[in-house]
Structure 1
Amino acid sequence: MSDLNSLLEPGMLVCHPDRPDWGTGQVQSNVGGRVTVNFQDAGKVVIDGTRIELILVFESK
């Protein structure tokens, strides 16, 4: 798995590859491989960036 998650910064929009039902999320923080994202339909979730590669979204859905 490439380490694209390390490029994520607060304010960026992402989707979880295995949970499209969560909707688009906004990155809140990215510290030590742990990415905190506030998803439209799932709320605030902490993602282990070493296990899940989030998908960058370039426009809100």
Structure 2
Amino acid sequence: MSEGDTFLEPGMRVENPAHPEWGVGQVQSNIGGRVTVNFPDLGKVVVETSRVTLLPVFDP
């Protein structure tokens, strides 16, 4: 796991800048650099954070 993804915890909202059409998803788990995210219209996607950077989404 890279240092930059250790903060991703279940319940956090994130987006994938490479696929903005996926919308904002919710982190389900973060195990060994593999983050499972549930996107509303796409479903669950497993993202390898060594290859993809997920951006946190913070509500104002």
Match of 1:12 in 2: 12
Structure 2 partner of 1:21: 21
CA RMSD, aligned part only?
A: 1.2
Counterpart Cα distance in 1 of 2:18 and 2:40: 15
SS at match of 1:7: coil
Contact 1:21 1:41 (C-alpha < 8 Å) held by counterparts: no
If the length of structure 1 is used for normalisation, what is the TM-score?
A: 0.87
CA contact (8 A) 1:28 1:37 kept: yes
TM-score, structure 2 normalization: 0.89
Q: String of CA shifts for 1:15-56, please: whole Å, max 9, x gaps.
A: 001111101000000000000000122110000011111000
Once residues 54 and 8 of structure 2 are traced to their aligned partners in structure 1, the CA distance between those partners, rounded to angstroms, is: 9
1:1-61 superposed matches below 5 A:
3-59=3-59
| Structure 2: runs of 5+ lacking an equivalent | none
Percent same amino acid at aligned positions?
59
